[in-house]
Amino acid sequence: MTEVYRDPHAAIGDRVADLLGRMTLEEKVAQLGAVWLTAVVRDEVFDADHAAEILANGIGQVTRIGASTGLLANESAQLGNSIQQILVERTRLGIPMVIHEEGVGGFLHRGATTFPQGLGLAATWDVELMAEVAEVIRTQMTAVGARHNLSPVLDVARDPRWGRVEETYGESPELCARMGTAYVQGLQTDNLANGVVCTGKHFLGYGYSLGGRNQAPVHIGERELREVYAEPFAAAIRDAGLASIMNSYSSIDGEPVAASRRLLTDLLRGELGFDGTVVADYFAVLQLHFNHMTALDAAESAIQALSAGLDIELPALDCYKHLPEAVRAGRIGEAIVDESCARVLAQKFQLGLFENPYVDADAALALFDTPEQRALARRAAAEGVILLKNEGVLPLDPSISRLAVVGPHADDPRLLQGDYHYPAHLEIIYQGRTEAVTEALGGIGADMDADQLPEAGGRFSPGPHFNPHVTPVGGLRDALPHAEVVHVAGCADAGRDTSGIAAAVEAAAAADVAVVCVGARSGLVAESTVGEARDATDLQLPGVQSQLVAEVAATGTPTIVVVISGRVHTLEEESEAADALLWSILPGEEGGRAIADVLVGAVNPAGRLPVTMPRHVGQIPLHHDMRRRGDRSEFYGDYVDRSAQARYWFGHGLSYTTFEYGDLTVAAGSTTSATEISVPVANAGQRDGDEVVQLYATDEVASVARPIREMIGFARVSIPAGQTRTVAFTVHPSRLAFHGRDMELIAEPGLFTFRVGASSFDPDMREAQVELTGEVARYDRQAIVATSVEVT
């Protein structure tokens, strides 16, 4: 008789109950953790007998085969199959494992398509494009057998000093929610048997830490925590069925998230309705002992985390391995172990792994970086280019004869990459820099055994493996085949060496136009100036790059500054000096072609800022939806030493054509019925183009202080020259709800102002005030309805 858990026709709940009842305590705990690849590989060779010994009790997950090796897709798939075979055929119960990987800006694997970093994708404001990118990531992950993705990053980014802003979707809960939801839908699909589990991270408030420091404490009130920082997670859960959540490293008001039942169970599962698995950020359980000092040792760390609702310890069973002993000693109940194990098993059944544990390794390589996928990478990078300033120099005259392309980012493929792109992320391994791992993990690595960290060297070493990348120099040479394109770096991306600037200035002086490519180096190692654990107090361009821009501009040659960076820089001097200023946010393998497409006018720019760009670091925090009295420029005037205005506000971005907005038509709803808002948008210029139409709301009088204006909807709309499109928003009253004085989520009647325009502080915004009628209505976060958009 076939065991119930092996019956594909049985209900998942019945299969889980049957399997759980057959498992020993050690087998249950093994499902709550992962194993490094190095634990099952000896002397750079997979050893089946050694692996069978290590995995005798099974394992929940295998940690990042692609992201810690230099294996090609077919080799990676075959290795995954070999490990899976041990678990399916040589363990008592045959429970398959899950391989987890990373995918912020593309699958973090050798040969996978390198799309723009997360913030660069957000700059497109294109949810359909995001879903297409996610589908490619899903295709490549499933090809090698990776079924759990440690993405997307749903942190709302409000402090540009924090190095990981580049991985997020920006400062707006609405933009983060819509882009994140599209990403999850593209990867998970509506049936996990065909998809990849997505992990929303980092729950919660991780991007608003003390001093902008990675992993630092967070001090956020309960209202702000829910309305701003939890909302992207809530949206991905209710609108896309987000299947996994990763905890934040930080403590919130002194409570480490990894040990907080209030956050991981009461808020996440109770208020937000989450029913998937909660996974630990790497070494987060250990940090309860080593960093937060709320646990005496690894065993107590495990008890605190599992009791809080943290199901799976990653990247290895460093603490949870002590759970069997803790259960037998009466320190924690086995029922708590069962609860988490049941969720892990249920997800494996949903993924179809018991029926289809293996992949076709021979077919994997053909699904990596195809011409169609590269074309999508180019489109994504081009859609995300933000034209911040243009004084008539762009698009470039096609008859241009000599172009100087200078700057450290002009011809270096490494500088097109973000910290979670391959191979930038893997520098910590292929340089053999375990000290960099230790630093990035807040000191954790120093206390670990050598076999707990990936090793460098040998067949499995990731090495500096790049897909073919196109730099701005290469892209411009292709786009302007009849022009002489002269390249001089001028300076490095960091450091104080100015000896090369004179040659760059000479090249610029002799050219018709100068393009200066500057920015920051993203990564995790010490040489990086942005990325995870690469926080900063100075938001200016690193090194002497500002001097390079100033001296090139001083030649009088029309100067275009292209910023290629994941950092939100203060570009006060660069903006003044440049004739045109663009930001391309770590655009990936096709970044050079995408930038060239915009510069020569083959693509009409429509990227928009997903973050506000301050004038000075002293203005932080500065974002479009500050609560009343938060916008100092409106109520208090400027600082005593400089303007309080942003250099460029959230949502800003220029085009080569002109869009004109008509008057708003508003049909006011109530606290229980939707408000309908529509606006005609005409392309009054000579070029076809995309406009990003943005809807903002202001609650004029409320029982608690509300944002001056918050974005509640948007649409990227293609409008041919001379034509008009009507954009209609349907705003459900739950979208206007907030946590009142008693912390209930309510929609209040009263006066509201709705604004529609091209940015958060567009001076030409169209606006209308309406009275929402009705009684105070109560909602919950699971029932919030996203603003819908129809374009005609």
Neighbours of 126 (CB within 10 A): 24
Candidates 541, 418, 531, 400; CA nearest to 469 is 418
Fill in the amino acid letter for 701: V
Candidates 361, 354, 355, 316; CA nearest to 142 is 361
**Which residues, in sequence order, are bridge partners of residue 60?**
none
- Cβ-contact 540, 546 below 8 angstroms: yes
Candidates 252, 253, 258, 309; CA nearest to 282 is 258
Residues 616, 643: Cα–Cα separation, whole Å: 9
Plot region of 495 (φ>0 → left; ψ -120 to 50 → alpha; else → beta): left
- Tell me, what's the pLDDT at 639? 86
Residue entry with tokens 């928003």: 729
- Cβ-contact 214, 164 below 8 angstroms: yes
Q: Is 474 helix (H, G, I), strand (E, B) or coil?
A: helix
- Tell me, what's the pLDDT at 431? 58
Compute φ and ψ for 646, nearest 5 degrees.
-70, 155
Find the DSSP H helices in 31-72.
Answer: 48-54
Residue 81, classified by CB atoms within 10 Å of its CB into exposed (0-12), middle (13-18) or buried (19+), is middle
Structure tokens at 5: 């858990």
Residues 739, 27: Cα–Cα separation, whole Å: 44
- Cβ-contact 441, 283 below 8 angstroms: yes
Residue entry with tokens 């400027």: 638
- Tell me, what's the pLDDT at 197? 98
Task: Supply the DSSP symbol for 440.
Answer: H
End-to-end CA distance of the chain: 60
Neighbours of 25 (CB within 10 A): 17
Residues 488, 440: Cα–Cα separation, whole Å: 34
**Which residues, in sequence order, are bridge partners of residue 665?**
678
Residue entry with tokens 């990763």: 246
- Cβ-contact 121, 131 below 8 angstroms: no
- Tell me, what's the pLDDT at 685? 96
DSSP of 563-612: EE-SS----HHHHHH-SEEEEE----TTHHHHHHHHHHTSS------SS-
- CA 762-752-157 angle, to 5 degrees, is 55
Instruction: Please enumerate in sequence order all residues whose Cβ is within 8 A of that of 688, keeping only pairs 6 or more positions apart, or say none.
Output: 604, 657, 718, 719, 720, 721
- Tell me, what's the pLDDT at 42? 75
Residues 762, 776: Cα–Cα separation, whole Å: 32
Segment (H or E) for 582: strand 580-584
For 23, 198, 220, 233, 273, the CA distances from 276, given in Å and listed in that order, are 21, 10, 25, 12, 10
Pairing between β-strand 766-772 and β-strand 750-757 as defined by DSSP bridges: antiparallel
DSSP of 112-153: ---PPPHHHHHTTT-HHHHHHHHHHHHHHHHHHTEEEE---B
Cα 134 to its chain centre, rounded Å, is 12
Instruction: Please enumerate in sequence order all residues whose Cβ is within 8 A of that of 221, keeping only pairs 6 or more positions apart, or say none.
Output: none
Report, as ranges of residue numbers, the positions in the chain whose pLDDT lies below 50.
433-458, 632
Residue entry with tokens 């490095």: 492
Find the DSSP H helices in 32-126.
Answer: 48-54, 73-90, 118-122
Residues 413, 586: Cα–Cα separation, whole Å: 10
For the chain, the 3-state helix, strand and coil shares in percent, each to the nearest 5, are 35, 20, 45
Structure tokens at 466: 């790049």
- Cβ-contact 280, 245 below 8 angstroms: no
Helix 231-240, helix 173-188: angle, nearest 10: 30
Compute φ and ψ for 768, nearest 5 degrees.
-150, 140
For 86, 95, 357, 714, the CA distances from 89, given in Å and listed in that order, are 5, 9, 11, 51
- Tell me, what's the pLDDT at 434? 45
Tell me the per-residue pLDDT of 537-565, one tens digit each, with 9 for 90 and over. Answer: 999 999 999 999 999 999 999 999 999 99
Task: Supply the DSSP symbol for 447.
Answer: G
Segment (H or E) for 187: helix 173-188
Segment (H or E) for 772: strand 766-772
Fill in the amino acid letter for 141: M
- Cβ-contact 737, 763 below 8 angstroms: no
Sign for the pseudo-dihedral over CA of 537, 542, 543, 545: negative
Neighbours of 181 (CB within 10 A): 26
Residues 769, 61: Cα–Cα separation, whole Å: 54
Residue 595, classified by CB atoms within 10 Å of its CB into exposed (0-12), middle (13-18) or buried (19+), is buried
Tell me the per-residue pLDDT of 656-710, one tens digit each, with 9 for 90 and over. Answer: 999 999 999 999 999 999 999 999 999 999 999 999 999 999 999 999 999 999 9
For 21, 66, 525, 530, 588, the CA distances from 424, given in Å and listed in that order, are 45, 14, 9, 12, 11
Q: Any idea how long the chain is?
A: 792
Residues 549, 561: Cα–Cα separation, whole Å: 7
